[in-house]
Structure 1
Amino acid sequence: MKVTQHIQNANGKPLFSFEILPPLKGQNIQSIFDSIDPLMEFNPPFIDVTYHREEYEFKELPSGLLQKKIVKKRPGTVGICAGVQNKYNVDAIPHILCGGFTKEDTENLLIDLDFLGIDNVVALRGDALKTETYFHPEKEGNEYATDLVLQISNLNNGIYLDEDLKNSAQTNFCIGVAGYPEKHMEAPSLDSDIHFLKQKIKNGAEYIITQMFFDNKKFFDFVDKCRASGITIPIIPGLKPIATKKQLNLIPHRFSVEMPDDLIMAVVKAKDNDAVKQIGIEWCTQQSKELVAAGIPVLHYYSMGRAENIKAIAKEVF
């Protein structure tokens, strides 16, 4: 079932969803099931599965030349989606990236997902590699998420890369895209960011999931700006409870988001990470309750493979 249908069928009741990471290479799918099992009591209608693009390592050869080696540290997004749908009978939503894929790679991936009965995808540009200052698209790949959304939308209309195909089957993906309440780190302004978000919607996006935020006012202001610009599709807030002192510096740097002073000082004064984890749970619980009171249709949690703190929050909210 499509995410938009889940929202319609909820009749105003808030829905709980979360995102998982593929396990590191060498681990099996049971580690994924172990992180999902504790959260199933809250009846998530869908679970997102991230995709991690290939990284590169360089090895110096005896000749002095550098050999580039592809390192895939978190494979398995498609297989995990199939496993999750089969085991839990919920919709699994794979993230699809521009980075690391040619357009033909993307088309073949989408065909496989369609064969598996997967109804939803999230279309993302993806981050720059650690070896890159700025994102560089794959040769013959989609450069921006707007392009990727258009390719998926074309498949939904039976338009494949090979124009000579006759009587081609249409896919029926519900396309989600990312939104940034504090703007994308590379965007010159929030208004320009919303301009390109509207382009994704014009190309076929049907719902938005936001980057994490720790101040609900940032989210409400973002929604107001989107609605004022003519965006009417569902906007789902992405939430993450802070869990370690290290994240106090890592999250703002990595994701270009701000944390409220009250949260910062509470974490700074915490005696250890157990105390930080409890602070994170309490803060995110209050965020969640306020969002539910405001009539937000779905709350989406970035679990990062850890269920304990998300379960503690969900018990208080759903």
Structure 2
Amino acid sequence: MTTPRISFEFFPPQSLDASFRLWDTVRELAPLDPSFVSVTYGAGGTTRDLTHEAVGTIHRNYGLNVAAHLTCVEASREETLEIARGYAKQGVREIVALRGDAPKGAERFTPHPEGFANSLELIEALAGEGFDIRVGAYPEPHPDAADTAADVAWLKRKVDAGATSAITQFFFEPDTFFRFRDACEKAGIDVPIIPGILPIENWDGVKRFARRCGTQVPAWLDDAYAKAKRDDREDLLSTALCTELCSELIDGGVEDLHFYTLNKPALTRVVAHALGITPQIQLRDVA
């Protein structure tokens, strides 16, 4: 089995305890030599300053290639571009450009009167600023999309606007990704499409998350976790399932995997080790 390139997603802390968790997670996963790490941006732009601070600290203190999430929500065009230019001043040249979720309490995304109307406008503007732009992709229909064909067509427009790679929403079965990848190739999308992997730390929480973002939960998986919970073997099942999913993706030609860590490094680290990825010891660590 070919050893894949890996990357990680973190989210910015909103409390002292959460801050310790983030830095512990970065410290544990950084030695696995990720090709990049991303830092999320809260719904409605709620973590804007925290995201900016986390991006700068990770880039500066750990020397990692950081892709900062940036959305269109509740900010003017100039405010959004000023955030991006602030990243550039820190040496961060990658952006994960997203439309963003509606602010808390709102049912649908509504553009700021002076803001970007959608992710296409944001991508075009960031491309004009010289950023390397990653975008989201949806192997199963986005809640606001009619079907997968509509998602593929929208992804093609994002690539045409300047996106250089895409990271998918998480999914549970490899064929879900392979079908989407085939549809993207047929549509002429020629940028890397990186599967997003969610190690399952808490099955009930993952099911709630899946319902919100339109990810289908296979019945066999729900049954497997019900049995594992009775036998107190949930961690073992999560490790086996995540490793098997990654292995099947690699066997199908996937070269990159993006792990949604939820700032919990243990399961991601174990799966990475099972895939043949081991910590890289830097000379400065042993000098």
Q: What's the TM-score, normalizing by structure 1?
A: 0.81
User: Residue deviations 1:22-44, cap 9 Å, x none?
Assistant: 01145585432211122223211
Kindly name which structure, 1 or 2, has the bigger radius of gyration based on alpha carbons.
1
- Contact kept? 1:19, 1:303, Cα under 8 Å: yes
Counterpart in the other structure of 1:87 = 61
Contact 1:25–1:75 (CA<8 Å) still a contact in 2?
Answer: no
Q: 1:216 aligns with which of 174, 180, 197?
A: 174
Matched, 1:118 2:92: yes
Q: Which residue of 2 aligns with 1:149?
A: 123
Aligned mate of 1:202, from 160, 164, 183 = 160
- Give runs of aligned pairs for residues 190-269 of structure 1, distance below 5 A: 190-247=148-205, 249-269=207-227
Contact 2:44–2:100 (CA under 8 A) maintained in structure 1: no
Aligned counterpart, 2:111: 137
Question: What is aligned with 2:269?
Answer: 311
- Greater mean alpha carbon deviation, residues 144-153 or residues 230-239: 144-153
8 Å CA contact 2:30, 2:64 repeated in 1: no
SS in 2 for 1:241: coil
Matched, 1:185 2:175: no
Does the Cα contact within 8 Å between 2:137 and 2:155 map onto a contact in 1? yes
1:229-259 deviation digits (Å, cap 9, x = unpaired) = 1001000000002222422530221221012
Question: 1:84 corresponds to which letter in structure 2?
Answer: I
Identity rate of aligned residues, in percent? Answer: 31
Give the CA deviation at 1:20. Answer: 0.3
Note the alpha carbon deviations across 1:52-82, whole angstroms, 9 max, x for none.
1447xxxxxxxxxxxxxxxx46741112111
Aligned to 1:49: 39
Q: Tell me how far apart the structure 2 counterparts of residues 273 and 114 of structure 1 sit (CA, whole Å).
A: 50
RMSD of aligned Cα (Å): 2.0
Question: Helix, strand or coil: the match of 2:129?
Answer: helix
C-alpha separation in 2, matches of 1:106 and 1:143: 12
TM-score (norm 2): 0.90
Alignment of 1:256-295 (within 5 A): 256-271=214-229, 275-295=233-253
Structure with more of its chain in helix, by fraction = 2
TM-superposed deviation, 1:291: 1.4
Correspondence for 2:280: none
Q: C-alpha distance in 2, partners of 1:266/1:314?
A: 23
* Equivalent residue for 1:38, pick from 25, 28, 49: 28
Q: Deviations over 1:130-151 (max 9, x none)?
A: 3111111222111211111011
The answer as to whether partners of 1:120 and 1:175 remain within 8 angstroms in 2 is yes
Q: Which runs of 5+ in 1 are unaligned?
A: 1-11, 56-71, 157-172
- The alpha-carbon deviation at position 19 of structure 1 amounts to 0.3
- Judge which range, 300-309 or 254-263, deviates more: 254-263
Q: Which secondary structure state, in structure 1, belongs to the residue aligned with residue 190 of structure 2?
A: coil
Q: Give per-residue Cα distances to partners, 1:282-305, cap 9 Å, x unaligned.
A: 111101111122221210000011
Residue 59 of structure 2 contacts residue 66 of structure 2 at CA under 8 Å; is this kept in 1? yes
Alpha-carbon separation, structure 2, partners of 1:262 and 1:28 = 34
**In the TM superposition, what is the alpha-carbon distance from 1:274 to its structure 2 partner?**
5.6
2-side partners of 1:272 and 1:104: how far apart? Answer: 54
SS of 1:76 mapped into structure 2: helix
